[in-house]
Each structure stands twice: as structure tokens, then as C-alpha cells.
Structure 1
Amino acid sequence: MTVDAPVPAPGSGVTFVMPVLNERDYLERAVQTVLQQDVDGPAELILALGPSSDGTTELAGRLAAADPRIRLVENPQADIPVALNLAIRAARHPTIVRVDAHSELAPGYTRRALATLERARAANVGGVMRADGRTPFQRAVAIAYNSPAGLGGGAYHVGAPEGPAESAYLGVMRREVLEEVGLFDESIRRGEDWELNLRIRRAGYRVWFDPQLAVTYWPRESWARLARQFVATGTWRGELVRRFGRLNSLRFFAPPALVAAVVASLVIAVLQVTGLVSGVASAVLSVVHLPIALYILGVLGFSVVAGRSLQERAWLALVLPTMHLSWGAGFLVGLVRGAKDTIDTSRLDRNTPLP
């Protein structure tokens, strides 16, 4: 049975909540796009500040001193779900707009989202994450993010018709529903949005996708950070599969299958090179190399077609396998032993220069 989410009185206002950790290069622009949103009623932005080491906290203080709509809360644990819950509990308004310091809201985003929430009587509405980049490496990552070849074709990455959704990117949410289902699960450090939306849907409420909503997202700035991010994300997805099993989409199992295929191909290659397997047996076992060869050709072909410059194409040829294999390896670790205390270390230090 589907339950209509409550609709607050007109002009009751919105609270934007933003977890922040080492975002000096992105925070000011992200905050600007939030404060420029056209909202019917009062609005506030709550920055949940983790223990940054790059001057982000000082920058946040200056921004808050310059605009009374900005409020600060401390998040010494640094975890995203903890930050979100701290900000939501401090919120003054009945609609919560989750935003990210590594993203920028399009003009009209909030007004459109509020209208969609009311029209669909949904508890949570999200749109499209449009990745972009400032360097050839970051643009290559953005191309991968925006394509089914990179992240498997989720609606908020590549678009889909408007309608009910499994989850929502960032999300514009009714606070009353969030409090009813228990806010974010603070034991889940990655994938916390998917798990929250699962509880929202289990409570009978709608989670809604609106392709007219757009958020610009800036990916990680270096190969090492990207790899660390995807290992952590994959590890937590493995944990979510341990917890929720078949409720996870089948597309989440493609990267670990690729990792298994690569390992099998490498083992057979070693056996063949050392002569431990030869003749007919070697010929038969060579079949395991075919999927990897096709994958390599697919990556190279996609890189040539999708990249807009030689640098972007070269980075794409590295970025795609990095995303797939890092995520897949992390998934297998999380599936076998659980995520435990895994964190996304790519967020901890952004003081190194861009590639």
C-alpha cells in the first residue's frame, strides 16, 4: 500500500544540509548555488563540519559570518550519515534538501523539486547527477560517471523517465518521514542514501525520480583518490548485500564478476606460461581470456569515441578499469568479511595539486 507523504503549509521553508570535509576548493561555489535557490519561504543552510585539514573550517566560518542563513554544526566523527543526522536534527524547517560540497545546484532546482514532491506526494525526490571536470583527468572521470559504461546505468547517472525510483541522488525529503523511519543509519558509511530510501519505500512512501532536476558533481581530482573512493564504495555495497541480499540490483554484481574473470585469466596465464598446463587443456582453458580481451577492446573503443581530446581518451582508458576493478575488489572484501570500519580515505586530504 502506497502512502502519500505529508505536504507542509505553503511558505513553511526548507533546510539545506551539507556534510563538509576538506572541501576548500569547492565549498564556496557550492554554498553560492544553494543560497541562490528560489524558495517560497525561509531557507537555511546547515554545514556539518568534519575535522578538515585544508582550511575548509575557516572558510565555512567566514561564509557563515557573511550570511545569517548559514549555520554550522560540528561533526567530529567525519562520517557522512552522522553529519546528515546532526544537520537534520538542527533543522528549523519541514523539508530537507541534501546537498554536497562537491556539487552545484542548477538554478530552479529547489523550486522544481518542491513542486514535484507535492505533485507526486513523494517522501523523497531526486534528479540527475551531471558529473563535470576542471582538468582532463576529472573530465574523463565525469564522462565515465555519465555513461552506462562507467557506473552501470543507474537512473540518476544516465537519466530515465520520471516516476518511482529505488533511490534518489542527494534528495529533497520530508522531514516528518525521515523522523518516522529513523533518519540515516549511522552504521553505514557509504550507500547510506540507498538504505534510507529502502526504509522509506518499506514504510509505504514514494521515492521519486525527476529527470528535470540536475546537480553538477565534481569527481575526485586524482587517480589515487578515485581508486580509494571506489574501493570504499564497493566495500560498503558488499556490506549492504550481506545485510539486504536480493534487494540489491543485479548491476552491482558486474564489477566483482569482472574481478573474478581477471583473476581467473591471470591464473590460467601463469599456468600456461610455466608449462603446467599445455596442449589441448591449455587450448580449452584459453577461453577464459576471451571476456578480458573483449573488455579491454570495449574500454579502448569507448575511450576513443567518448573522449574529446587525446588526454581525456588516455585517462579514460585508465579510469574505467580503475572504477570497475576497485569497486569490484572492494565489493568482494565487503561481501566476505563485511565493511567493518572501512572509510573513504579519498576525503581525508585534498592538499595535493590537481593532475
Structure 2
Amino acid sequence: MLAPTELPPLDALPGVSYIMPILNEADHVEEAVSTILAQDYPGQKEIVVALGPSTDGTTEVVRRMAAADPRIITVDNPAGDTPIGLNLAVARTTHAVVIRVDAHSELTADYTARGVAVLRETRAANAGGLMRARGRTAFQRAVARAYMSRIGLGGPAYHAGDEAQEAESAYLGVFRREVFDALDGFDETLRRGQDWELNLRLREAGGLVWFAPELQVTYWPRATWSNLVKQFYATGVWRAEIVRRYGARNSARYFAPPLLVLGVTASLVEAVLQLTGSTRSWPRFVRGFTSLVHVPSAAYAAGIVTAVWRADDAGIRERLWFGLVLPSMHVSWGAGFLRGLATGAASNRDRSR
């Protein structure tokens, strides 16, 4: 029932339900919710916010906003896990279109109208667009640059795509309500990567996931280096858990960061052995062969230097941060992936918020 030919036509102005799981986002939530309330869409709208156990006043901010606007609905999510919060929010929605939103994201004013139009025109079950990362400080701008760069996150269309196309997954997502009725929502055992997994089941059920570059969302990355590393480590752990479960159905690009970590580790070990003279007794051809382990690491370092050099529209502080942010993202993600591949995700949590 999710195939394009099987989905019933949407009404001219279908009602739209926004779902937002939230935890410790007092600095962002009011602005994020405000952009939803300001959507230039004449159809009915409601926002369901799943409140995790925040300690920074987020819950109080949202409840104050809900008291002033009946379109804002709150549900408690005491576990604080994103997929549980999403499912709790979906269960309270009442409209034909469900749009996932995030406290770190801001929608353009026409996002809803464009999203509904894409669903109608393509008969897709889910549609998403470009994640436009932005930053306020030099560090955050460097992270945003890394998000949007091919050498940074690369791969997914929603980071740097420019052509409408069928997609593997979608950033956030503008869903037909039928997706949740047919697939029982998000997998609550996946604390990260639950969007990709839902879109996998959606595609296997015959549904279409569509990338539409006219759908644009502003995303504000983590504001400190330590939180960025924690975020990417947790993301790597949970991506490995998905690989353990779904194997070859994952894109090959997910294996690049763990291979980088293994390559850099091998290079460092080889360098220590060379510096301590431990390789002197090895045959010359063996020493020459093992020295090749430095080539990938040197090529990666050259790639980072080139990326920083080409960022000539950035200030010096942003460029310096950019040079640190890129390997920080790759190595933390790769290290998390290797840990998750070896032991599974277990109870790993994203502690960056």
C-alpha cells in the first residue's frame, strides 16, 4: 500500500502534523517551533513535541508555548530516546501528512507547502531536501562547512545534492501518514539511524523516497568540539549496529571512516617501530612493503590540507577549526563504528546534549 500507484491522492490542502522529539534544547527549541508556526501553509497544522527528561528548562519553555497556542501538543517521553519519542508523537497526530522536525533545525517559510506538493507530484511516501548547516561562531561555521563538504560527510544527497532524484533516505522527512500505519513506526531499539532504517523498510515495501532540493532546512551543529566528538562517536556506534543487522544493504561509504582509523593506527605503529629501530632486522623488501602503510594516511592528510587551503572564503580561525573538525568527525565516527561493530551498540547514548 506504499507503492506510488497504491497511495490514495492527497487532498488539495491536507492537514499537516509536525513531530519533534526533544531533550535539553532550551537554546534552540523556541526558534525551531516558531519557524513551524510561521509556515506559509493555509491547511490545518499541529505540532506534537515529545518531551524527554531535560535538565536545562526545555520542558518549561515548551509547556509555556503550548499554553499560549493550542496547535502545540506535548507528550512525555521519560526514556528520552529519539525513536520512542517519535513514535509517541506520531500516535498523537491527526493529519494525513507527518513532518519530522528537529530543535536544531529551522524550516524555510514555504517548506510545508513545497513538501506537500512534492508528495502529490511524485506520489512518494517520504520526501526530504537539503540540510543547510550554518554556524554562529568560527567553530560552528567550520562544522557547518564540514557538513556541506564532500570531504566532510560526502555521499548523501541531502548534504550537497542539487538534482531531484530517488533517494536511499531523507533528512528529517515529509511523510504520508500511511507509512506509520503500514510499518509500525520507528524501530525503538535504534537510538541513532532510525530514519535510515525506516526508509529501508519503506523502500522494501515498495514505497518511494524522494530527494527534492527545493526543500531546505537550516541546521545548527554542535557548538563545542567535545560535543561534536561525542555526537559523531555515538553516530558511528549506531551505524555499526545497523550494519550488524542489515549488512550489505548499507552503502559502502559508511566503511570509509573505520578504514581511516585502522590505516592511521597502522601508520602510527609502523612509525614507532621505525623510530625505535625495531625494523632494522627485517629484510629490506619487508621494510619497503610495510612502509607503504604510510601512503593512505599521507594522502588523507594532503586531502585535509587541500580542503583547508580551498576554504578561502573563510576567516583564519574558521579555517584552522575546519582543519581540526574534519579529522575529528572522521576519526570519532570511525572509532565508534569499530567499537559498535565489535560489541554492538548495547546501551550507548549520545551524550552531546
TM-score range, shorter chain: over 0.9
Aligned pair partner of 2:119 in 117, 120, 132: 117
- Specify the alignment match of 1:141 in structure 2: 143
Tell me which of 158, 161, 164 is aligned to 1:159.
161
Q: Secondary structure at the match of 1:345?
A: coil
1:119 Cα deviation after fit: 0.6
1:171 aligns with 2:173: yes
Percent of matched pairs sharing the same residue: 55
Q: Which moved more, 1:6-15 or 1:222-231?
A: 6-15
User: Displacement of 1:44 after TM fit?
Assistant: 0.4
| Residue matched to 1:68 | 70
Give the whole-Å Cα distance in 1 for the aligned partners of 2:179 and 2:105.
25
**1:306 aligned residue:** 311
Q: Matched residues in 1 for 2:8 and 2:248: separation?
A: 30
1:93 to partner: Cα distance: 0.9
Any idea what SS the aligned residue of 1:267 has? Answer: helix
Q: Distance in 2 between matches of 1:92 and 1:102?
A: 25
Give the unaligned 5+ runs of structure 2. Answer: none
Instruction: Give distance in 1, aligned partners of 2:273 and 2:235.
Output: 33
Once residues 224 and 234 of structure 1 are traced to their aligned partners in structure 2, the CA distance between those partners, rounded to angstroms, is 15
* Structure 2: distance between partners of 1:265 and 1:247: 31
| 2:291 maps to which of 281, 286, 306 | 286
Amino acid at match of 1:299: I
The yes-or-no answer on 1:216 pairing with 2:218 is yes
Give the match's secondary structure for 2:213: strand
User: Are positions 1:328 and 2:334 aligned together?
Assistant: yes
CA contact (8 A) 1:13 1:39 kept: no
Structure-to-structure mapping, 1:20-99, within 5 angstroms: 20-99=22-101
Q: Is contact 1:131-1:143 (8 Å) kept? A: yes
Structure 1's 234 and 10: CA in aligned 2 closer, same or farther, altered over 3 A?
same
Matches of 2:170 and 2:48 in 1, distance apart?
A: 20
Query: How high is the TM-score relative to the length of structure 1?
Result: 0.95
Aligned positions, number: 347
Cα deviation digits, residues 280-322 of structure 1 (max 9, x gap): 2433322111211221121122123226011001101110000
Aligned equivalents of 1:108 and 1:248: distance in 2? 33
Q: CA deviation at 1:105?
A: 0.1
Q: Deviations over 1:318-349 (max 9, x none)?
A: 100000000011111111111111111102xx
1:274 CA drift (Å): 1.5
User: What corresponds to 1:192 in structure 2?
Assistant: 194
CA contact (8 A) 1:130 1:157 kept: yes
The answer to whether the Cα contact below 8 Å between 2:154 and 2:160 also exists between their aligned partners in 1 is no
Q: CA deviation at 1:153?
A: 2.6
Contact (CA 8 Å) 2:163, 2:213: kept in 1 or not? yes
Letter in 1 for 2:290: L
User: Closer, same or farther in 2 for the Cα pair 1:160/1:336, shift >3 Å?
Assistant: farther
When the two structures are superposed, what TM-score results if normalisation uses the length of structure 2?
0.96
Q: Give the CA deviation at 1:202.
A: 0.6
Provide the aligned C-alpha RMSD in A.
Answer: 1.3
Question: Structure 2 counterpart of 1:293, which letter?
Answer: A
SS at match of 2:222: coil
